Chains A and B, each alone.
Chain A
Amino acid sequence: MTDAAPLCRATALVKEFTSHGPMLSRPTTFRAVDDVSFEVFRGETLALVGESGSGKSTTARLVARLMEPTSGTVEFEGQDVTSLKGRALHSFRSDVQVIFQDPYSSLNPRHTVEGLVTAPLRYQKRRIPGGARAFTRSLMERVGLNPDHSGRYPAQFSGGQAQRIGIARALAVSPKLVICDEAVSALDVSVQAQVINLLRSLQRDEGFGYLFIAHDLAVVRQIATRVAVMSRGRIVEQGERDRIFADPHHEYTRTLLAAVPRIDPEWDARRREAERRRAAMASEAS
């Protein structure tokens, strides 16, 4: 729990999309994000949870300034970044990075790992400390990739590894806020667990804040400090993670939690017991 100023604050964000029908009809507007407010603190993770159409991805894009809100403000480290343009927007980009869901479509397949990872620095015309090759290698090691593969292309990596490239790219500019937009949703279970561990350890080491967008509540349980539940563009409930999971106030949160399938905790307990017995026998034998 920190009483410091928030790293990022969103206030009353609204995003409307207008669609124009055939020439003679009136356009219809759709509110994807409807009066959303939250704060993300340094070193912590705020999870935005919701089902499809809840507006969580749109909200993430607003915070990342990949879109401009229809109304409302986004503040970063106390400064209003809602309508930044040009150079100021540029420097904001080095403070906030995004990791997307599908690494194969968010990484340019024609660029090597080195190209991908050093791109943010090159676009921002910043010096690459230690030279491109060394920089890439050290980043790859940080995210658990083999540094000798820095000349390879994304298609040559498996899903989990490609996602690590995306993480390395985000780290390249030493951001203060990392937005994870369903970053682990497309991964196999075992790989997902590895990437979650990686994200957690990186946060411990670097101290950045995460805005973590997800639909999987079990994953959110592992990584979030605080949780905001979204439905139809609005935040219906937010608070400390453990509180939300143990004592949900809003009807929708309760429905959501009830719907998640669970492995019988008694089975888990028995499994861990069996594990302990095995470990005990093994050490006895040695």
Chain B
Amino acid sequence: MIRFVGSRVLGMLVVLFLVTLFTYVIFFVLSPDPAVQICGKNCTPERIEQIRVNLGLDLPFWQQFWEYVSGLFTGREYVVAGAVVTCPAPCLGYSFQTGQLVSEMIVQRLPISATIAIGAAILWLIGGLIGGVLSAVHEGKFTDKFFAGLTLGAMSIPNYVLALVLQFVLVVALGWLPFPQAVPFAEDPGQWFLNFLMPWIVLAVGYAAVYTRLTRANVIETLQENFVRTANAKGLSSSLVWRRHALRPALTPIVTIFGMDIAGLLGGAVITETVFGLNGVGKLTADSISSNDQPVIMAVTLLSAFFVIVGNLVVDLLYTAIDPRVRTAARA
């Protein structure tokens, strides 16, 4: 078992390293000279050169990469205007736009992205499971067709269209909900809830549709399994057959997909946050791309990759806990 976990963690570290390298190469090759950017207007070639030396941009690629990676673990030191500035670990640099420590910017915004992601996840999981099970139980009948149409519509609407429409209807026209703002939970739970409700709904809708279809397919397939027939042949009560022999095998794979989806969203729901003007990591991503703020772009990319890769590992390990076949293979 240790071997199994150990080998997975090792694999994860390798992938993380490769992703970092790959991302760094892309920025190195594709981005315009950062020194020029920082310098801004009224720039002289000498100043550009000076900035380049300060930021270590005149060093060979591998050295720059090494500086970056080691900075993630031990922090870095920059020389700016004669003074030495320390960037504590994990050092993701300073924003070209605002001059802030990138790591600070992310830490500020992470809770909002997490709130959006987790709230939406709960909504879509419950919605998807209920929709899926109902569709499966009433396969072919009106309920099933209703959900099929509903999910098709939900998957077809672009995120931002739904966001704008909902905002118009619920906030402007009906005044039921406020314009979303990040209200801290501690301050006012009720307002906090109402503020996040629309972003949650907007984000959850697309996923709920997919989960409904996925659940439906899994349940229908599981109901055909021979062990369900055995369970019925033993004369078990229909609720026991449902719980143990239909739902458990059908829904287990969905839990793992759920883990992956949340992990992906922790890196920020870019469109949703931007449309609602919520300062999460997603909005930061959008802003930094449009202003070409390299260190920030690099940082959010790495963050997102980190969450996905770790999420993958967690899901893998989760599977050993819940699927006996994987568990015994892992022990061997």
Contact = CB atoms under 8 A, between A and B. Distances in A.
A223 B4 CA distance: 50
A261 interface: no
Contacts, number: 18
Nearest to A28: B332
Interface in B137-190: none
Contact of A24 (B7, B330, B332): B7
A24 B8 CA distance: 10
B11 A23 contact: yes
Nearest to A23: B7
Contacts of B7: 22-25
Contacts of B10: 23-24
Nearest to B332: A21
Contacts of A23: 6-7, 10-11
Nearest to A22: B7
B106 to A, nearest CB: 32
Contacts of A21: 3, 332
Q: Is the interface of B mostly helix, strand, loop or mixed?
A: helix
Contacts of B4: 22
Interface string A11-29: 0000000000111110000
A25 to B, nearest CB: 5
A38 to B, nearest CB: 35
A23 B3 CA distance: 8
A22 to B, nearest CB: 4
A136 B81 CA distance: 88
Nearest to A25: B3
A22 B330 CA distance: 8
A67 B4 CA distance: 31
Contacts of A24: 3, 6-7, 10
A21 B1 CA distance: 12
Nearest to B8: A22
Interface string A168-185: 000000000000000000
Interface in B318-332: 330, 332
Contacts of B332: 21
A21 B330 CA distance: 9
A24 B5 CA distance: 10
A23 B15 CA distance: 14
A25 B329 CA distance: 13
B14 to A, nearest CB: 10
B10 to A, nearest CB: 6
Interface in B284-332: 330, 332
Contacts of A25: 3, 7
Nearest to B5: A22
A27 to B, nearest CB: 13
A146 to B, nearest CB: 36
Interface string A26-67: 000000000000000000000000000000000000000000
A36 to B, nearest CB: 29
A132 B163 CA distance: 64
Interface string B265-285: 000000000000000000000
A20 to B, nearest CB: 11
Interface string B1-27: 001101110110000000000000000
A254 B277 CA distance: 81
Contacts of B3: 21-22, 24-25
A23 B330 CA distance: 12
A22 B332 CA distance: 10
A24 B11 CA distance: 11
A64 B168 CA distance: 71
Contacts of A22: 3-4, 6-8, 330
A25 B6 CA distance: 10
B2 to A, nearest CB: 9
Nearest to B1: A22
B143 to A, nearest CB: 34
Interface in B200-233: none
A208 B330 CA distance: 49
Nearest to B10: A23
B328 to A, nearest CB: 13
A21 B331 CA distance: 11
Nearest to B2: A24
A138 to B, nearest CB: 44
A213 B7 CA distance: 41
18 contacts: A21-B3, A21-B332, A22-B3, A22-B4, A22-B6, A22-B7, A22-B8, A22-B330, A23-B6, A23-B7, A23-B10, A23-B11, A24-B3, A24-B6, A24-B7, A24-B10, A25-B3, A25-B7
Given A22-B4, A22-B7, A22-B8, 7 more contacts: A21-B3, A21-B332, A23-B7, A23-B11, A24-B3, A24-B6, A24-B7
Those 5 A-B pairs whose CB atoms lie nearest each other, nearest first: A23-B7, A22-B7, A22-B4, A24-B7, A24-B3
